Amino acid sequence: MERIGFIGLGAMGGPLAGHLVKNGFDVTVFDLDDQAVARLTDAGARSAASIAALAADSDIVFTCLPNSPDVREVVLGADGVLDHLVEGGMIVDLSTIDPTSTDELVKAVVERGRAFVDCPIGRTVDLAEQGEALFMVGASGNDFGRVAPMLEKMGSTIRHCGEAGSGIRTKLINNFCAIAIAQVNAEALALSQAFGLDLTETLETVNGTTATNGHLARLWPAKVFSGDTEPGFKISLAAKDLGLVVDAAKTAGVPVFTGAAARQALVLACQTEDYADKDFSALVDVACHHAGQPPARYSK
């Protein structure tokens, strides 16, 4: 059985690592949050004292980290994964980072005779907890076959998008749609509040037309419309991801006018009161705040 190392046990990484442990994989974990580590060791994982120790005792190392500098430091830094990973080892990055960083990682890892797979995660934290995450995988055919048994236990949908580097680029397309549409939803519902419309009636109408989307039909009714803005996917992370989209589009020479406007709206949201650390469904609260309207909530 492959020995698995898992670095990054946050809102997404923790549940995914937990699924591997629950399904009988040999898992060693590392995180700066001692409580996150304890939750996994209580479930049956082993903990490592350092990234270097984890890498030396693993055949496949998963990373699930907040941003590009974190991933580069963990993988390429002094006493990082690459310096200690066993011969024939593989690194699987589940993070959402900029594509140029992924390309840098692929080149460095392959030059050292190890394999690299970029495998960002789709869907929400609650679905990851239920084992229903979606994975967008960039990998050679052989590397995809090697990592697939683990992904099958962590999620319900696996998309092989192409060679290494294609997974993160697919994720940016996905997040472009998801986050920009969320901002449009937020502004539309702030307007509905100003019009004095009933939220339930408005949603039933919109969800019966082509204007419907997953936020309005599923996520937001369970979250912000019910008064729950505890973070699954923070507004600050949504702003970061949309920034990656706009920057990648600029590099590719592709104008993204709506994306740029949505990015500015999310930057503003992060600067408004304490919204940066709320769930990104709370974008509707930000829009209502700027419109001088009450939050959109179901009537009690």
Which 8-state DSSP code applies to residue 86? P
CA angle 211, 176, 252 (to 5 degrees): 135
In single-letter form, the type of residue at position 220 comes to W
Transcribe 116-143 into DSSP letters.
EEE--EES-HHHHHTT-EEEEEE--HHH
Please count the other Cβ atoms lying within 10 Å of the Cβ belonging to residue 160: 17
d(CA 201, CA 130): 30
Q: Is 171 an annotated catalytic residue?
A: yes
Of 51, 130, 125, the closest CA to residue 91 belongs to 51
C-alpha to C-alpha distance for 210 and 220, rounded to whole angstroms:
17
DSSP state of 215: I
**Which of 171, 223, 234, 278 is flagged as catalytic?**
171
Q: Are strands 26-30 and 46-47 parallel, antiparallel or unpaired?
A: parallel
Rounded distance between C-alpha atoms, residue 191 and residue 202, angstroms? 11
Q: What are the phi and psi torsion angles at 103 (to 5°)? A: -60, -40
**Are 101 and 68 within 8 A, CB to CB?**
yes
Distance separating alpha carbons of residues 33 and 265, to the nearest angstrom: 31
User: Exposed (0-12), middle (13-18) or buried (19+): which is 78, by Cβ within 10 Å?
Assistant: exposed
Q: Could you list the active site residues? A: 171
